[in-house]
């Protein structure tokens, strides 16, 4: 039960940071209409309908949250040893899940998500005038790099050993911890 609770607390934090960043940037541009909590998750509602959205502000509204979460993942990973060795095992476990989610969820969302449900990529593409597939490829490359950081830095810091191909290093980098 404790493991599930630490996962859920971390997930809630990640969602609040991600959606909160959308809301803050949208508010800065006068585009925030509402912030709603649904049984299936959080929703930021904007004033301008999707079909009428254009301009760099939509790239920022859609993209800043993705950048913030990944940067927070890198920041937490920088402090992984103190987080992993905290006396409070609950906080340490939440820290573990925060690092995993901050590093992996948004790059996966931007790379694979558009094939399934769209998501933030529409605003990034429209706002910055970039090719969707370029954003997806770059996001997938970041996902793979971050997956390698999880395998080579995070898991060893927590004493986790695995032979699962998704969680063991694919590239020999030497000592990165």
Query: What SS3 state is found at 14?
Result: helix
* Cα Rg, the chain, nearest whole Å: 17
Residue 177 has pLDDT above 80, yes or no: no
Instruction: Output the average pLDDT for the chain.
Output: 92
Write out 40-81 in H/E/C secondary structure. CEEEEEECCCHHHCCCHHHHHHHHHHHHHHHHHHHHHHHCHH
Residues 6+ apart with CB under 8 A from 154: 77, 80, 96, 99, 100
Q: What is the pLDDT of residues 147-168, one digit of tens each?
A: 999 999 999 999 999 888 888 8
How much of the chain, in percent, has pLDDT values that exceed 90? Answer: 74
Given a contact cutoff of 8 angstroms between Cβ atoms, the answer to whether 30 and 47 are in contact is yes
Q: What is the pLDDT of residues 124-141, one digit of tens each?
A: 999 999 999 999 999 999
Sequence spans of domains, the chain: 1-158
Q: What is the pLDDT of residues 33-60, one digit of tens each?
A: 998 888 877 889 999 887 788 889 999 9
Residue 173 has pLDDT above 80, yes or no: no
Given a contact cutoff of 8 angstroms between Cβ atoms, the answer to whether 131 and 125 are in contact is yes
Q: What is the pLDDT of residues 12-22, one digit of tens each?
A: 999 999 999 99
Average pLDDT over residues 86-105: 97
Given a contact cutoff of 8 angstroms between Cβ atoms, the answer to whether 157 and 81 are in contact is yes
Give, rounded to a whole angstrom, the gap between the first and last alpha carbons of the chain.
30
Given a contact cutoff of 8 angstroms between Cβ atoms, the answer to whether 86 and 95 are in contact is yes
């Amino acid at each position: 039960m404790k493991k599930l609770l630490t996962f859920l607390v971390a997930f809630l934090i990640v969602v609040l940071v991600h959606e909160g960043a959308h809301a803050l940037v949208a508010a800065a541009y006068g585009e925030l209409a509402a912030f709603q909590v649904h049984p299936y998750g959080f929703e930021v509602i904007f004033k301008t309908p999707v079909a009428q959205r254009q301009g760099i502000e939509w790239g920022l509204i859609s993209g800043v949250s993705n950048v913030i979460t990944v940067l927070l993942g890198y920041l937490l990973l920088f402090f992984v040893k103190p987080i992993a060795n905290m006396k409070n095992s609950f906080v340490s476990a939440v820290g573990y899940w925060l690092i995993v989610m901050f590093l992996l969820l948004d790059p996966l969302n931007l790379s694979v998500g558009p094939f399934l449900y769209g998501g933030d990529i529409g605003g990034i593409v429209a706002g910055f005038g970039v090719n969707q597939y370029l954003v997806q490829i770059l996001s997938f490359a970041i996902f793979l790099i971050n997956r390698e950081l999880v395998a080579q830095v995070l898991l060893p810091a927590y004493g986790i050993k695995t032979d699962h191909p998704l969680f063991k290093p694919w590239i020999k980098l030497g000592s990165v911890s």
